[in-house]
Structure 1
Amino acid sequence: MDRERPLPCVVGGVDTHKDLHVAAVVDDHDHLLDTQSFATTRHGYRQMIAWMRSFGNLRRIGIECTGSYGAGLLRFVQKAGIEVLEVTTPDKSDRRRRGKNDDLDAQNAAHAAFAGKRTMTPRSRDGMVEALRVLMACRKTAVSARRVALQMIQNTIVCAPDGLRDDLRKMTRMQLVRTLAAWRPDLTGYREISTAYRIALKSLARRYLELHDEIADLDTMITAIVADLAPDLTARNSIGHIGAAQLLLTAGDNPERMKAEASFAALCGVSPVPASSGKTIRHRLNRGGDRRANSALHIIAIGRLRTDQRTKDYVARRIAAGHSKLEALRSLKRDIAREVFGVIMRRQKEVNQGQIAA
C-alpha cells in the first residue's frame, strides 16, 4: 500500500484594509499559487485560513499593519497557533518598477514572509498592555484637547472688552477656569459683544474642566495597570506612571521577541548609529524608533540629572572626557533603556513562571 505523500509547505501574505483583506499564497519554492480577498470578520478570517491550508501545510503568515487594520486578524491567527510575521513597507525601488495594487502588496507580503526579509515579530495585542495602549491613546487626545481649550481661553481673553479682561488677567490658571465655569451669562443676550464673550469663555472653561476630570480618571486606571504590570519600574528614580506606561507599550505584551536590550534601545531610538568615514570615527543620533518612548527616556534622564548625584557625576565625567552635554545625555538615555529593559524582562519572567505554576 502506497504511503500518503506529505502536504507541501506554503506561506501566506496579507495586505490589510478596513473592509477587505487581500491574501496571497506561495509554495515552498516561493512561487505564487493564488490571490483572494476576504471580509474583515471572524467568518472571513476563518475562510482565509481554510483557503490557505487548502494549498498545503501553512508554515507562517506575513501580515501588514498588525497595529491597525491587521490587529483583528493578528489575534485570530495567533489563537489558531500559526506563526505570524509583521511585514514592513516594501522596497521603494521595487514598488516604482512593478507598480502598486492590493494583489501585488499581498504577494509582496507572502514573498517577504517566505524569505524572512522586511519582517519582524509583531507585538501581541491580547494582554494588559493592549488595554494600557487604548487608555493611553485616549489620554493623549484628551490632553491635546485640554491644551487647545486653555489656549482658546487665553486668546479669547486677549481680545475681550476691557471690563472683562482687567478682571481676569491676574488670576492663576485654575482660578481663571473655575471662575469662568461658574459664570451665569444671560443666554438671550448673545448678540451683545460682552455677553457673547462671557458665553464663549464659560463654554471653554467647562470643556477644560470636563477634560481635566476625564484625564484624572484615565490616570487612575493607567496607574493601576502599570502597578500590576511592572511595580518595580515606578519604584526607580524619576520614572512616573505615564513614562512607565509608555515604555511598557513600546516593549509590548511579548517583550521576549527582542533578543537583547540593544533591540529595545534601538526601538526607543537611543542606540548610537555609526557615522564614520575615512579617518573620522563617530556615532550620530538615532532619529528612528518610537519617539514617544524616546521622550519618556529623556524626561527620566532630566529628572535624574536634577535629583540623583550619581547621574550628575556620570554626566560630569562624560563632559570632562570631551563629550558635549547633549552627547552625555544621549549616553545616559542609553543606560536608562538598558535598566528599563532589565526590569521589564525580569517582571515578564516572573509572570510566565507564575502562569506555568498555576
Structure 2
Amino acid sequence: MVTVVGIDTHKNTHTLVAVDGLGRRLQELTVEARPSGHEKVLAWLSSQGAVKVAVEDCRHLSRALEVDLLLAGHQVVRVHTRLMAGMRRGARERGKSDPIDAEAVARVALREEDLPTAVLAGPERDLKLLADHRRSMVVRRSALQSKLRWFLHEIDPAIEVPSRALRRYCVLDSLQEQLAGRDGVVVEIAGDMIAEIVSLTRRINELEARLGRLVRTEYPHLLAVDGLGVLGAATIVGETAGAVRFHSKDAFARFNGTAPIPVWSGNHERFRLNRGGNRTINTALHMAAVTQQRLGYEGADYVAKQLARGKTHTEAMRLLRRRISDRVFAALRADEKAKESPIDLRNRPGPEPVFEVAA
C-alpha cells in the first residue's frame, strides 16, 4: 500500500505527515526550509517505502523543495488551500497547526483524483516571469508619465506633449532640453522622472524583444493564431504553465473563463456567464478577438454570422473568444508535442533548460 505524505510549507520550516491508505496518521517530521532540511526530507521519505508526496500549493514557499523531490524521482501533487480548509473542518482534531495542515494535505491527496502535478519547468516559467516583470515596469512608467504631465504643466503651460508620446526617446530628449537652464525643485524632480522613464522604456523594449525571441523559438504554432501577438502569446504560455495538464479544450476553456457555467433549474439546463477563471488569459483572448474583428481576419466573418443569427455583439464576441481559446489550446499542444520530439530537442538552439518547477 502506498503511503501518502502531506507537506505544509513555510518560509522557515516544512512539516511532513505520513498517512496510510485509510488516512490514519503514521509519522510526522519538521525540518528547516534549507538545503540541509531537504536532505533530511529525502532520507525520511526513503524510509517510508512507496510514497506519494502532496504539497500545499504555495509556489514561492515550496518551489525549492519540489525541485529536490522531483530530481530525486518522487511524484509530487499540489493541493489547493481551499481543499485543505474543507478537510480541516471535517477532521476530529480541532484547531490549526502545521501537523494538522500537513495531515489535511495528505488526506485530500487520498480523496481527490487528478490533482495538479508538479513538473520541472521549461521556457513557460521564464516567459511568465519576464512578462510579469515587463507588466509591472509598464505600470510604474505609466504612473510616472501621468505625474510628469502635471509637473510639466506647472513648470510651463506652453509645453505640449502629444498623447502617448512619453515613451518616445525623441520626445523625452526634447523635454530634457526644454528643462535645461530652469531652476526649482519641480524642475529637478521632473528631470529625474524623465531619466527614469527613459530607463524604464529601454528596459521594457529589451524585455519585449527577448519575449519575442523566446515565443518565436518555442511556440511558433501559437504565434500563428490570428490576432495574437508576442505579448499575448507570452502571457498565455506563462499563465497556462503547460497545456498537457488539461485533458481537453473544454477543460482549458473552463480554466480561462471562456466556457459558460451550467445552471440547472428543474429539468431544464441553462448556462450563465463565467466571471471566474484566469482573467489574464481571458484578457489576452479578448484582445485577440478584437484584433481579428478590426483587421478583418476569420473572426470578423464569424462575428458577422452570429449577428445575423440574432446574437448581440457582446454575445458574438464571447463566442469568438471561446473559438480562439480552442485554437490556442490546439496550438499549445502542437508546440509542446514538437518539443517532445527527439529530433526537435536535439536541433533546438539555446541554452539547456533550467530545472525549476512550473508556475
Quick check: TM above 0.5?
yes
Instruction: Output aligned runs, 1:272-287, within 5 Å.
Output: 272-278=260-266, 281-287=269-275
Report if aligned partners of 1:90, 1:108 keep a CA contact under 8 Å in 2: no
Residues 28/95 of structure 1: CA separation in 2 closer, same or farther (3 Å cut) = closer
The 3-state SS of whatever aligns with 1:103 is helix
Instruction: Output aligned runs, 1:262-277, within 5 Å.
Output: 262-277=250-265
Q: Which amino acid in 1 is paired with 2:327?
A: E
Q: How far, CA to CA, are the matches of 1:170 and 1:351 in structure 2?
A: 45
Q: Which amino acid in 2 is paired with 1:273?
A: I
More off after superposition, 267-276 vs 210-219: 267-276
Larger RCO, structure (CA 8 Å, separation 6 or more): 2
Q: Which amino acid in 1 is paired with 2:174?
A: T
The 3-state SS of whatever aligns with 1:113 is helix
Report if aligned partners of 2:338, 2:344 keep a CA contact under 8 Å in 1: no
Q: How far, CA to CA, are the matches of 2:321 and 2:23 in structure 1?
A: 43
Structure 1 equivalent of residue 186 of structure 2: 197
Structure 1 equivalent of residue 289 of structure 2: 301
Asked which structure has the greater CA Rg, the reply is 1
**Is residue 2:48 matched to residue 1:48?**
no
The 3-state SS of whatever aligns with 1:340 is helix
Match of 1:138 among 100, 121, 133: 133
Q: Give aligned pairs, total.
A: 339
Residues 84/241 of structure 1: CA separation in 2 closer, same or farther (3 Å cut) = same
Match of 2:213 among 224, 228, 232: 224
Match of 2:174 among 175, 179, 186: 179
Report if aligned partners of 2:3, 2:19 keep a CA contact under 8 Å in 1: yes
Q: How far, CA to CA, are the matches of 1:90 and 1:11 in structure 2?
A: 19
Structure 2 equivalent of residue 79 of structure 1: 71
The 3-state SS of whatever aligns with 1:68 is helix
- Deviation of 1:48 (Å): 1.1
Match of 1:126 among 121, 127, 140: 121
Match of 1:333 among 309, 321, 324: 321
- Deviation of 1:41 (Å): 2.5
The 3-state SS of whatever aligns with 1:165 is coil
Query: Over residues 91-120 of structure 1, what are the superposed CA-to-partner deviations in whole Å (9 max), with x where a residue is unaligned?
Result: 545546743222221111111112226x62
- Deviation of 1:280 (Å): 6.0
Match of 2:202 among 192, 203, 213: 213
Residues 290/170 of structure 1: CA separation in 2 closer, same or farther (3 Å cut) = closer
Contiguous gaps of at least 5 residues in structure 1: 1-7
Structure 2 equivalent of residue 18 of structure 1: 11
Q: Which amino acid in 2 is paired with 1:142?
A: M
Structure 1 equivalent of residue 357 of structure 2: none
Residues 341/239 of structure 1: CA separation in 2 closer, same or farther (3 Å cut) = same
Contiguous gaps of at least 5 residues in structure 2: 347-359
Percent identity over the alignment?
A: 26
Query: Over residues 272-308 of structure 1, what are the superposed CA-to-partner deviations in whole Å (9 max), with x where a residue is unaligned?
Result: 1113424764322222221111111010000001123
TM-score scaled to structure 1, two decimals? Answer: 0.86
- Deviation of 1:317 (Å): 2.2
Q: Which amino acid in 2 is paired with 1:115?
A: R
Q: Which amino acid in 1 is paired with 2:185?
A: A
The 3-state SS of whatever aligns with 1:139 is helix
Report if aligned partners of 2:76, 2:118 keep a CA contact under 8 Å in 1: no
Q: How far, CA to CA, are the matches of 1:322 and 1:113 in structure 2?
A: 47
